[in-house]
Structure 1
Amino acid sequence: MIPNDNIIALATPSGAGAIAVIRISGATAIDTAAAFFKSAYSKDLRKKKSHTISLGHIIEDNKILDEVLVSIFKGPNSYTGENVVEISCHGSPYIQQQVIQLFLRNGCRTADAGEFTLRAFLNGKMDLSQAEAVADLIASDNAASHQIAIQQMRGGFSNEIKSLRAELLNFASLIELELDFSEEDVEFADRTQFNELLSRIQKVLKSLIDSFAVGNVIKNGIPVAIVGEPNVGKSTLLNAFLNEERALVSDIAGTTRDTIEDEIAIGGIGFRFIDTAGIRETQDVVEGMGIKRTFEKIEQSQVILLLVDGSKILADSEKLKNITIDFEKIKNKNPLKPLLLLVNKADTLSDADKEVIAQHLKAVNYLSAKTGEGVEELKNSLLQFVNTGALRNNETIVTNSRHYNSLLKALEEIEKVQFGMEEDLSSDLMAIDVREALYHLGEITGQVTNDELLGNIFANFCIGK
């Protein structure tokens, strides 16, 4: 049963601000608001047209709580599909609480996390994947994640899934019909067309599954570990990326004893840079713990930047050999991860110095973390590790792990059906696999759901959305 009691919550961030928006949704939301709203032009809020705004005061027992603007949206043409009222009041936390408490005493209850969007889903205003995109849109902090969330919220992904599911459902119905006439040995489903459909569904599912590798890093940011010996300029490089003094810098080896992380957007993609403790032999227990964590961060990162001090390696030929050894060790342990060798303090190196380094080190990137020389070029190199072609072409990209898991399960069932077709298995066995594929595709859009799933999804929303 779809709830239609009145719920209320603050729709804007808590705390002081210029204005605050308080949202009420429910069958009698407009009547409830009208009981405590006095229009500046003596107009009854209940007689106002939908999608209009009224100026007036919220009044309790002849006491004015605030001068407000009240927007009304009559169901089903509202966000939730119900009657919705939005009260724009002054942003004082005291005023916000006074207004909310007034309506809590008079026919409203506090909305649960994500309950406004849950009601929108239950009332057919959006499907489940679109509802999840609302949360992704709120959480987006770079252009790429924003673009993906907008596309999904507008139904790009769910329309693709619904179309495939509808075609598969049509064939499933014909196969089920064959089972009803099994004694007569007839075929209602054209096997050639069915094979073509299965191949097309398999291709689309594989494409969507493959896109998750890109979508996941775009949504969560790409972790980049900055590693190297102490005092090679790792913290200075982090500060250069962020354009602020985020990490403590000194000439004392071992200054960074723990990992420091921060995120910036490069070309619309989020990168999470991790400044790690310098790698060296040490007897210091705390520094040793930091070095251990450095190797853990290397494992967790998707890109590794190995930074060396150009001025020091020129003075010590043994260091040049050790850098090559260290590079190969890290590369062998992380064969699938991009690894860039960066020679820092390039501003102190002559062309002759670089020629000497080139004799020992291959594929070197020069930069100066102190002056910023080479930092922009490094940012461009990092962007090349991300497949942004799908974004530019406006292709569907999967970012949600729940969708990813359902797609994997649906593909597994489709491949079982294909195997059944090749081996000429009976229709009743194939019908089971087709039903399972339909189930997993339906899970994505919410055509198949349960209370536990909805609870898990909407519990992650903010209250008021």
Structure 2
Amino acid sequence: MNQDTICALATANGVGAIGIIRVSGENSFKVVGKVFKGTNLSKATSHTVHYGFIMDGVETIDEVMVSVFHSPRTFTTENSVEISFHGSPHIAKKILEVLIKNGARMAKAGEFTMRAFLNGRIDLSQAEAIADIIASENEASRKLALNQLKGGISMEIKALRADLLNFTSLVELELDFAEEDVEFADRTALLMLLDRIEAKLKDLIESFTYGNAVKNGVEVAIIGKPNAGKSTLLNALLKEERAIVSDIAGTTRDTIEEVLHINGTAFRFIDTAGLRETTDTIEAIGVKKAKEKIASARILLYLYDELENTPEEIAQFVKEVYREDLKIILLHNKIDLTGDDSDIFDNSVKNLIGDSTDFEIIKLSAREKTGIDILKGSLDAYVNNLKSDEDNVVITSQRHHESLQKSLLSVKSVRESIEETQTTELLAYELRNALESLGEISGEFTNDEVLGNIFSKFCIGK
């Protein structure tokens, strides 16, 4: 158990009705007891609350309520104290100062959660889930983070590792009897296990597309010629005059980004400069940024109309930007001017693009706000289609995604070792690599640099 007693403000900075300071460490009761005038905290029953005052010598700092939690039934598994005070930033500062003066030190970023991890209270993926819950901005991301906190991915990985560990132990045993040329691990059964592990790893890896969309939002680039109605569309989606709308071509010089939540998922809409050749230096920079946003977006909304576009140039644009991970939605805009009863123009676009490219066409009028709900429904369907109905665990962490990919490569290397009848030593080596890769997710195999990077992203009081 760490001998240091740490303290930090657990509530947000600023004025509030109540603030909370957390204290954790073997000597928490002793340290807080030096400055608390009230119950003897060292003799207090666990999970009880006590009224009193925080003192700095003879000076009263504040009237408080102190909660006492005995090890190991605490978040960090250490003795812990929570001090509830009147929510003044000045009072918080004074209480922290007097605690430090009496033997505590300020906690580092994420140190409470790190202690919970190091003391076996939670694994690394659950620690990351705590940060995700704090950072969640919508219902979908909260639910995914909560499932991970409950140990969703940990249980999946633990089951895979347990099966693989059994075979690894048998292969390691073969090394002890190398001179007798015995085989304890059934290679056929091991191959069947590898099939199952590979399938599960692939499912988890594929779930990252959905998980990342829910956690970080979906980037949607709004593209088109000048005066195609891009800014009008953004305003219609947001139901506010966010972007300047003008009949003058080239009004949007830079990108404008806004977030809209649709059924719990955040969509980050990016209104870009109109695509055209220009000699205007500033506008040219905007056009360049627009092209960059196309490259990074997951969804592309391309606005066109029959008056300013031809089917040939629309088809050519789609073929130039198409990639498998990009959802392309062609928006036939200004139907209030051209009418929506003829499909001749759109059919020409479809025929020129062909069946090999995945896209859809939606007719709308950004100015009249018709077709907006259809567009929102298409965006929502895109996210829902990313998630398989069979997915119970969804990956949201880039670190987990990379570890799973690494694990998949390791498992494939094990398979190659068996199929090529390589030496038992090499097979054992590949199995250990696979186990280590899987263990990186839960923190069974990690290093100080990785831990430092993960917990540095936490707030000080967590």
TMscore range, shorter length: over 0.9
CA separation of 1:412 and 1:355: change in aligned 2, threshold 3 A: closer
CA contact (8 A) 2:315 2:349 kept: no
1:386 alignment partner, SS class: helix
Root-mean-square deviation over aligned CA pairs? 2.1
Asked if 1:247 is matched to 2:236, the reply is no
CA separation of 1:256 and 1:188: change in aligned 2, threshold 3 A: same
Superposed displacement of residue 392, structure 1: 5.9
Unaligned 5+ residue runs, structure 2?
Answer: 351-359
Q: Deviations over 1:43-79 (max 9, x none)?
A: 3333222222223222222322222222222111111
CA contact (8 A) 1:67 1:89 kept: yes
In structure 2, the partner of 1:302 is 298
Superposed displacement of residue 244, structure 1: 2.8
Match of 2:149 among 139, 147, 153: 153
Letter in 1 for 2:36: F
1:42-121 to 2 correspondence within 5 Å? 43-121=39-117
CA distance, structure 1, for counterparts of residue 197 and residue 236 of structure 2: 47
Q: Deviations over 1:390-441 (max 9, x none)?
A: 4765511112122222222222121122122223222221001001111111
Q: Deviations over 1:198-232 (max 9, x none)?
A: 22111111211222222222222111000112223
1:419-458 to 2 correspondence within 5 Å? 419-458=416-455
Superposed displacement of residue 388, structure 1: 5.0
TM-score, scaled to structure 1: 0.91
1:384 alignment partner, SS class: helix
In structure 2, the partner of 1:187 is 183
CA distance, structure 2, for counterparts of residue 409 and residue 389 of structure 1: 22
Match of 1:175 among 171, 174, 197: 171
Superposed displacement of residue 378, structure 1: 0.5
In structure 1, the partner of 2:405 is 408
In structure 2, the partner of 1:8 is 7
CA distance, structure 2, for counterparts of residue 217 and residue 331 of structure 1: 25
CA distance, structure 2, for counterparts of residue 126 and residue 324 of structure 1: 58
CA contact (8 A) 2:301 2:331 kept: yes
**Which piece of structure 1 moves more, 100-109 or 387-396?**
387-396
2:22 alignment partner, SS class: strand
2:74 alignment partner, SS class: coil
CA separation of 1:367 and 1:111: change in aligned 2, threshold 3 A: same
Letter in 2 for 1:385: Y
In structure 2, the partner of 1:199 is 195
Match of 1:334 among 322, 333, 345: 322
2:49 alignment partner, SS class: strand
CA contact (8 A) 1:223 1:301 kept: yes
1:112 alignment partner, SS class: coil
1:283 alignment partner, SS class: coil
**Which piece of structure 1 moves more, 246-255 or 9-18?**
246-255
Match of 2:333 among 344, 347, 350: 344
Detail structure 1 runs of 4+ shifted over 6 Å in the superposition.
none
CA contact (8 A) 1:111 1:463 kept: yes
CA distance, structure 2, for counterparts of residue 189 and residue 335 of structure 1: 44
1:194 alignment partner, SS class: helix
CA contact (8 A) 2:210 2:386 kept: no
Superposed displacement of residue 374, structure 1: 1.7
Superposed displacement of residue 333, structure 1: 2.5
Q: Deviations over 1:266-286 (max 9, x none)?
A: 122221110001122322211
CA contact (8 A) 1:331 1:339 kept: no
Q: Deviations over 1:65-103 (max 9, x none)?
A: 222222222111111111111112122111111111111
Unaligned 5+ residue runs, structure 1?
Answer: none
Match of 2:280 among 260, 284, 300: 284
CA contact (8 A) 1:144 1:391 kept: no
Match of 2:231 among 235, 248, 258: 235
Q: Deviations over 1:212-263 (max 9, x none)?
A: 2222222221110001122232122212222333222233322211001122
CA distance, structure 2, for counterparts of residue 240 and residue 81 of structure 1: 52
CA distance, structure 1, for counterparts of residue 20 and residue 116 of structure 2: 19
Q: What number of residue pairs does the alignment pair up?
A: 452
CA contact (8 A) 2:129 2:145 kept: yes
Asked if 1:386 is matched to 2:383, the reply is yes
CA separation of 1:177 and 1:222: change in aligned 2, threshold 3 A: same
CA distance, structure 2, for counterparts of residue 260 and residue 4 of structure 1: 51
In structure 1, the partner of 2:415 is 418
1:230 alignment partner, SS class: coil
In structure 2, the partner of 1:208 is 204
CA distance, structure 2, for counterparts of residue 295 and residue 146 of structure 1: 33
CA contact (8 A) 1:320 1:361 kept: no
Letter in 2 for 1:249: V
In structure 2, the partner of 1:26 is 25
